[in-house]
Each structure stands twice: as structure tokens, then as C-alpha cells.
């Protein structure tokens, strides 16, 4: 069974880059999802930031997705698919997307970070326990490992480090905790730079709690990468309009929220329509 198609991926807007609906919605400066009109931070990131006691780590989603989409099925199926072949096919599809993203944007993710050694890529572990099919390892770590194998351009700058474990009171949706994850104290990570990697971002509690735990241990977290940022278009009018505007644009893997927010290269919607899209194909 080959990789599954991931058509319908939706690009992530740079903060403030979308002005098609003034007074209808904003773009969150943390997660780049929909925010209320006139607000720079969405409600979820506001709540999570307050729970963590400060500004959350910067989030760089690879794409937006909605429930029931091919991307949603892949993000669920690579962990919980019925057959090993199905899980492997979805892992290969997602790893290919992540490899392309890391190859294009590793410099963006590690910006302003002195790197005498490779930066750590720290997968967010499960906070509710695993499945027997995971064989003791969270699938996001295996996905990342496969992505780095497919991305020789990014591999020299990045090193997988599975150094987080769920704490006594792990985070839950809209319930972030600095001590929600424990850092492996047998590994000296002080002063290291790191990118936190998760597959799905909803409220951001888990990924941002992981970043906070690493920061408390002396790690410099340069970005939180989420493969998919969930958007629920039926949540309210602002979110519906946000989704309508963004889903009309082709997925462009050559841009991320870090490089797109450069004032010299801020994207213009009309310009983005001219770009080559890979939203309906995936390299096998």
C-alpha cells in the first residue's frame, strides 16, 4: 500500500496578512488560526498563555485542516489505523510533507539561534498513554525520524531527542501546565536549542506545555511545529469566513509563517494564486 493522497491542505496565513474581511476576523499571532476581529491572539492561546504564565512559544503550523478532510483522516489513521499497512501508508504521506517542509524551512525554524550542535527536535509524547501498536514509542517520533531520512538538507541541523514524558498531571485541552511533562534529567539539554514537534494543534495545551517544560529545563525553544492546525469552520462567523478565505488559496510549501512574516516577502493573496501547488499530489 503506497502513500495516501493528502489533497485539500490549506495554507497557514501570516499574522495580519489577511485583510479580505476587515472587522470580521483576525489572525492569531501565536498559532496563526482565526481570532476575533480586532484581536491579535485567539481565545485558546490567550487561555493557554495565562495558564503557562507568559507568552507561549511561537507556533509554526505546516497547514490548516478541517474535520473529515483527507488530512484529518491521515493524522488520525497514522496512529490509530486498523492495519499496519494503513498506518505505514499514512505515516509515509505525512513524513513526505514534513520532510519537504523541514528542507525548505529549517533555517526559519532555527532563526537567531546559535547552533554549535544540531538543534533538538523534541516530539510531544502522549499525555494519556499509548497503544500496543505503538510498541512503546509515540508515532510522531517515528514520523519525524522518517522525515529526516527523507530530508538530507535539514538533517545536519536537527537531532531527534525523545526526552519528554507525561508528568503526574499531564496537560489536557485548554488545561496547560508547565509541569505537565517531565524532562529526562539524564540528558544534559541546558543551553541547547530545540524545536517541539506535534502532529495536531487544537487548543495548543499539549505542545505549548511541552515547550514550557523544556524552557524551564534550560532549553531554548525556537519554534513549536504542528503538522496540522485544526480549524472548525462551524465554530462562529469569524472562523467560517477565515476558513473560506484561506481554503480558496493553493497550498504553497515554499512558505511558512516565519518567512511569510518577513516584511520584504509578506505574501499577497493574488501572488500566492500563481504559485505551484502540491495540494492534490504527494511524491511517492
Task: Find, among 198, 197, 196, the residue nearest to 215 by Cα.
Answer: 196
| pLDDT band at residue 18 using 50, 70 and 90 as cut-offs | low
Q: Any idea which of 26-30, 111-115, 184-188 has the lowest mean pLDDT?
A: 111-115
- Looking up residue 164, the CATH number of its domain turns out to be 3.40.50
Average pLDDT of the chain is 83
pLDDT per residue as tens digits for the range 104-148: 998 889 875 555 688 899 999 887 777 778 877 889 999 999 999
Average pLDDT over residues 212-226: 94
pLDDT per residue as tens digits for the range 152-181: 888 888 999 999 998 888 998 889 999 999
pTM given for the model? 0.86
Q: How many domains does the chain have?
A: 1
Q: Any idea which of 5-14, 90-99, 133-142, 186-195 has the lowest mean pLDDT?
A: 5-14
| pLDDT band at residue 260 using 50, 70 and 90 as cut-offs | low
Residue 108 resides in a domain: yes
Of 277 and 83, more confident? 83
Domain residues for 76? Answer: 54-232
Residue 242 resides in a domain: no
Residue 20 resides in a domain: no
Amino acid at each position: 500500500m503506497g502513500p495516501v493522497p493528502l489533497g485539500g491542505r490549506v495554507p497557514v496565513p501570516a499574522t495580519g496578512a489577511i485583510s479580505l474581511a476587515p472587522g470580521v476576523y483576525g489572525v492569531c499571532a501565536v498559532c496563526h488560526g482565526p481570532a476575533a476581529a480586532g484581536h491579535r491572539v485567539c481565545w485558546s492561546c490567550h487561555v493557554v498563555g495565562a495558564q503557562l504564565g507568559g507568552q507561549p512559544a511561537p507556533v509554526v503550523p505546516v497547514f490548516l485542516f478541517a474535520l473529515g478532510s483527507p488530512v484529518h483522516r491521515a493524522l488520525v489513521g497514522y496512529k490509530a489505523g486498523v492495519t499496519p499497512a494503513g498506518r505505514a501508508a499514512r505515516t509515509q504521506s505525512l513524513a513526505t510533507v514534513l520532510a519537504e517542509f523541514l528542507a525548505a524551512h529549517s533555517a526559519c525554524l532555527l532563526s537567531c539561534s546559535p547552533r554549535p550542535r544540531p538543534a533538538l527536535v523534541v516530539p510531544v509524547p502522549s499525555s494519556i498513554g499509548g497503544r500496543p501498536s505503538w510498541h512503546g514509542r509515540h508515532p510522531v517520533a517515528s514520523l519525524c525520524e522518517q522525515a529526516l531520512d527523507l530530508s538530507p538538507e535539514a538533517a545536519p541541523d536537527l537531532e531527534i531527542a525523545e526526552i519528554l514524558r507525561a508528568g503526574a498531571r499531564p496537560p489536557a485541552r485548554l488545561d496547560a501546565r508547565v509541569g505537565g511533562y517531565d524532562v529526562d534529567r539524564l540528558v544534559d539539554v541546558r543551553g541547547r536549542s530545540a524545536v517541539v514537534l506535534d502532529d495536531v494543534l487544537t487548543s495548543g495545551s499539549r505542545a505549548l506545555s511541552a515547550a514550557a517544560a523544556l524552557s524551564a529545563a534550560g532549553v531554548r525553544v525556537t519554534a513549536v511545529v504542528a503538522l496540522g492546525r485544526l480549524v472548525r469552520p462551524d465554530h462562529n462567523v469569524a472562523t467560517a469566513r477565515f476558513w473560506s478565505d484561506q481554503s480558496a488559496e493553493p497550498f504553497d510549501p515554499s512558505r511558512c509563517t516565519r518567512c511569510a512574516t518577513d516584511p520584504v516577502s509578506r505574501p499577497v493573496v493574488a501572488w500566492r494564486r500563481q504559485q505551484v501547488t502540491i495540494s492534490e499530489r504527494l511524491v511517492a
